[in-house]
Structure 1
Amino acid sequence: MSDNDDMVMVTHFNARITADGPWPAEPGRYRLVVNKACPWASRSLIVRRLMGLEDAISVGVTDPIQDERSWRFTLDPDGRDPVLGIRYLAEAYEAVRPGYDGGVSVPAIVDIASGRLVTNDHNTITIDLATQWSKYARPDAPDLYPQALRPEIDQVIEDLAEDVNLGVYKAGFATTQKAYDEAYQRLFDRLDELENRLSTQRYLVGDSITEADIRFFVTLVRFDVVYHGHFKCNRNKLTEMPVLWAYARDLFQTPGFGDTVDFDHIKEHYYRVHTDVNPSGIVAGGPDLSGWHSPHGRD
């Protein structure tokens, strides 16, 4: 596993963009940089879409394949982000800290005028988009982090982070049988618990979509595509867990979720970048993805 992989989520820049802080929420001021393969970056795309912030904060999408300088804008004409004018996201990091040679992660929010990275703190980016940009959100935007439910949401996402979001990586990149076995067991114990929880309620916390559902979805949508085989998380597929499979389809078919997913980018990144796990770089042909559009019955 390289230091530039999306598994490495060490936060070096954690400023907050708030309604009235030193980095104020202002339409047109910032550029959100993502990679559609990365689950942490996908969270920010979903929140931006659900909140209706497309006109307030623009998005730059990097190539799913990294090189020695990490995330690059080779999908854009001339290999440059059309707004920031840079070839590599690392340039925004270096604009803040000259000579910076640490990890480069997404999501990242860049101040357009200065070209400086503001934050790459994936844990707070989505919370702030959901709570600090409300002035610019669509009138019927959901409350993704309701005040009364925050303690419960925080506990759920803490459990998800350790056992599920990171759990698949702990299993996939394990270098000892013991480490793999522990991660594998914790992952499926937690999935079984959540399968049971969601058998009696539509969403993880409360009766509407919250930050917790978004954080769970980004792992579920990658599960059969890459985690089941590539990361050896293969006790069963998502499609073999009836409640979680219906729950995942319910979210996928909700505007803001499935329309921000790029299965091709996901497969290209995981199978081609993780050469220690898949030395051949061969990208798997399956699985069949048509089931994501089948009726879910959760409503």
Structure 2
Amino acid sequence: MSFRDLHHAGRPLLLPNAWDYATGAALARAGFAAVGTTSLGVAAAAGRPDAAGDTRAETLALARLLARLPVPVSVDAENGFSDDPDEVAALVAELAGYGIAGVNIEDGRADGSLTPVDHQTAVIAAARSAAPGIFINARTDTFWLAGAAEPDLAATLRRVEAYAGAGADGVFVPGVAREADIAALVRDVPLPLNVLFLPGRTDVDRLAGLGVRRVSLGSLLYRTALHAAVSAATAIRDTGTVPEAPIPSYAEVQRMLAGEYF
């Protein structure tokens, strides 16, 4: 099934997000239909903060590696690492050339503001023209950047409708969790809705019932892996034992990286 078709299957596409090749390969081996990337994980692996706009090279390098996987891959490209629509379009075209199936382009800025709608629609339209076959997931950070304020659903709808008109294939609204807001987005936006899984606040089955077509795990797996690594190290230091878990052996990881599971 193609990446585009996965957004129209019987269940929402549950998209786990990788930060290196081994993670992507392990997720593909575990049976996930597609794999995404996490900008936080990519930035953290390079020793940099997320959303600073300076991990273009690392993002492309990871994309080249993940394109070898036997499942579709979607890349989190932040804001395209440029304010110039032509430069963003060139990035998306390069990703498509690697065989990447999808790309996320967001309207949130590092300073906490939102890119003007007309500029963002120009970015999406340029990317659409440069890479007709890639799945463009237009992300709006209206909920993500709201903080303590009440997110503006009407402004969100205006943005995602504009992005749909500019050629986006799907819309991503991270941070939305209230069922009424999700239902309104599903009802009023003519594209597959992607939401972020929020532990304790969202439920995949309930999201499916509301009509959500894609559920991303974002940086959750990376943060979970950090916790697991530190927990194992401190357990060995403090008790001399490793917490019980189905940890892959060295040989299993080597075989996986050699592609033997594919």
Instruction: Indicate whether the TM-score tops 0.5.
Output: no
TM-score by length of 2: 0.32
The structure where strand makes up a greater share of residues is: 2
Please, what TM-score do these two structures have when normalized by structure 1? 0.29
